[in-house]
Amino acid sequence: MDDPINLRKQFCMTEKSSDKTSRGVTVRVKTARGRTTSSSRWLQRQLNDPYVARAKKDGYRSRAAYKLIELDDKFGFLKAGKHVVDLGAAPGGWSQVAVARCGKDNVAGIDLLEIPPVPGAALLQMDFMDDAAPAALKALMGHADIVLSDMAPNASGQPNLDHLRILILVEAAFEFALEVLKPGGVFVAKVWQGGTENKLLERMKKHFVTVKHAKPKSSRQDSAETFVVAVGFRR
């Protein structure tokens, strides 16, 4: 399987072609030496994705920013002065949105990958599954009003395994949210379609006033991802 990071680098080298998508021109990518058919398809999809071009125009790190924007427009949880923790923050699109809507110095993010600085956000390059990570985030933020998780495992090509892996990440993010959220707080996490595992969903409903699933329009329709939005934290 092609390395996603290498694919992103290839995309960055050719991203100027994405300007053509705004003019309705389809960019076609040929399989070149050293590039597999699957990586060529990935590049072609990126180059012809209107949200990729829009993110570049609007100054966002990735198209994922629009997923958070749509979720917030629907549920209204990002508000001025709210403190936000962004799990799986790289490359920084969600942190950018959180800073814009909640204010500077109110956002802390973490990712295993390096995250270029986001003005107004405190960022850690660290594996959230590391035992020391929760304490490191608490040192940055203390208690939070909102915990966001866009974490996802590398795709294995086996849907059942991928679902299990992302469920493990969601459970870890949820346990962290229980520790740091203020009363009335919000938890948002990426999950796979089919919903959240029943026991975890029941725990969420116990600790939040409302728990709903939503799939933003900016989430690719052929993607299995959806998001769980839990509002109104109570212990």
Catalytic residue among 190, 199, 205, 212: 190
Helix (H) or strand (E) holding 201, with range, is helix 198-207
Both tokens of 71, joined, read 């979720």
Query: 214 and 229 in contact (C-beta within 8 Å)?
Result: yes
List 148's β-bridge partners, or say none. Answer: 86, 188
By the 10 Å C-beta count (0-12 exposed, 13-18 middle, 19+ buried), 123 is classed as buried
List 227's β-bridge partners, or say none. Answer: 190, 214
16 is catalytic: no
Query: 156 and 194 in contact (C-beta within 8 Å)?
Result: no
Taking the alpha carbons of 111, 114, 117, 122 in that order, is the dihedral positive or negative? positive
List 123's β-bridge partners, or say none. Answer: 109
197-217 burial: b if 16+ Cβ within 10 Å, else e? eeebbebbeebbeebeeebbe
Report the alpha-carbon distance of residue 124 to residue 109 in Å, rounded: 6
Catalytic positions? 190
